[in-house]
Amino acid sequence: MSVVPTGGTLGILGGGQLGRMLAMSAARLGIDAHIYAPEENSPAARVSAAFTCAAYDDAAALKAFAQSVDAITTEFENVPARTCEILAAFTPVRPHARALEIAQDRVAEKTFLNEQGIGTAPWRAVTTAPEMTDATAAIGLPAILKTRRLGYDGKGQARIMAAAESDQALADMKAAPSILEGFVAFDREISVIVARGIDGAIACYDPGENDHEDGILRRTTVPASIPAATRDAAYAIAEKIVRSLDYVGVMGVEMFVQSDGTILVNEIAPRVHNTGHWTLEGCAISQFEQHVRAVCGWPLGSTERHSNAVMTNLLGAEADDWLALGNAAQAVHLYGKGASRPGRKMGHVTTLSPKT
């Protein structure tokens, strides 16, 4: 079990805002970040000691990168499994490739969760019209058709409210392998940010309550308004997931809470997560520092929350206007992404209030 010492270097696959906040937390621990990403314009690279701009299948660049760092992690779950295999021949990769592979494919993800006895929306794998007919009959409507791979922020999804809409929904998937999920009439959406260290220690942050608009996270509020028993059940699910995967690092587990308190898992993200950004101000040790500690083989830190927090994403042009929000108590994070597009996550603000 290799441990990255202070003064060492952590390699990070992916160059977006999650990598940027990981790199800044690593710096606070005296650990340099080396970003590996295919895009030249990288918000993470701009705050890091080193940057390799190369494709995820560039074996020579991957080898040189792996040999120049002490451990490797990812801020982006769609890194090809083969990339992790190439890297792992030289340097520890945490979390391991299997966790990424499961999270990359909604069918593999739900199969894994159900095998652990964890509830999900009812689902069927669907690619062809006959499969769609069978799946709709089995699951009923309304339902949601999603691509198995590469969907994010509600992209690659179609809601099917009536049978007449199902042909068009399938056509929109353009023959991409898909999954039909029953529509969950949830009371609220929550997420647990869970961390597991190389020694097997597990720590969870208080669940956040999440509001989405058009499939994109708008706001996370902590604490979530759920009873203690629901919170404890959410922790137990998150802990089971990381333990059964022998996972190392931080993971975001998105959940639906139904009116009877039953929890269904929507998605797992094998990385730091947008719904955990509040921990930067709401806890002594943020999800970013926690992830760096875990993947570098350090002991986990405390996940204790010292305040209530509301984290609001700044989407598109909202980030140009954050000064106009007029609230000096808000902690502002701007990701330095350059061009804003509608719906693009450009930054976030967090407001604290006394802990309840």
DSSP symbols for 75-133: S-TTS-HHHHHHHHTTS-BSS-HHHHHHHH-HHHHHHHHHHTT-----EEEE-SHHHHH
Q: Which stretch binds ligand AMP (CB under 6 A): 178-186, 229-237, 238-246, 274-282?
A: 178-186
In whole angstroms, the minimum distance from the beta carbon of 120 to ligand AMP comes to: 8
Tokens 């209530």 — which residue? 308
**Rg of the Cα trace of the chain?**
20
Q: Is 84 in the site for ligand AMP (CB under 6 A)?
A: no
- Residue 321 DSSP code: G
Q: Is 343 in the site for ligand AMP (CB under 6 A)?
A: no
- Please state whether beta strands 143-147 and 178-182 pair in parallel, antiparallel, or not at all (unpaired): antiparallel
Residue of the chain from 154, 223, 301, 316 that contacts ligand AMP (CB under 6 A): 154
Question: How many chain residues bind ligand AMP (CB under 6 A)?
Answer: 13
Handedness of CA 346, 39, 65, 151 (dihedral sign): positive
Q: Is 184 in the site for ligand AMP (CB under 6 A)?
A: yes
Q: Which stretch binds ligand AMP (CB under 6 A): 25-33, 177-185, 315-323, 335-343?
A: 177-185
Contacts of 172 (CB under 8 A, 6+ apart): 158
Q: Is 151 in the site for ligand AMP (CB under 6 A)?
A: yes
Q: Which of 17-55 are b and which e, b meaning 16 or more Cβ less than 10 Å from the residue's Cβ?
A: bbbbbbbbbbeebebbbbbbbeeeebbbbebbeebbebe
In whole angstroms, the minimum distance from the beta carbon of 37 to ligand AMP comes to: 22
| Subset of 251-270 contacting ligand AMP (CB under 6 A) | 254, 266-267
Residue of the chain from 144, 245, 300, 309 that contacts ligand AMP (CB under 6 A): 144
Pick between residue 89 and residue 150 the one whose CB is nearest to ligand AMP: 150
Q: Is 177 in the site for ligand AMP (CB under 6 A)?
A: no
Cα(22)–Cα(24) distance, rounded to whole angstroms?
5
Q: Which stretch binds ligand AMP (CB under 6 A): 14-22, 161-169, 183-191, 200-208?
A: 183-191
Q: Is 121 in the site for ligand AMP (CB under 6 A)?
A: yes
* Angle at which helices 81-88 and 97-104 cross, to 10°: 180
- Where on the chain is the footprint of ligand AMP (CB under 6 A)? 121, 144, 151, 154, 181, 183-184, 189, 212, 215, 254, 266-267
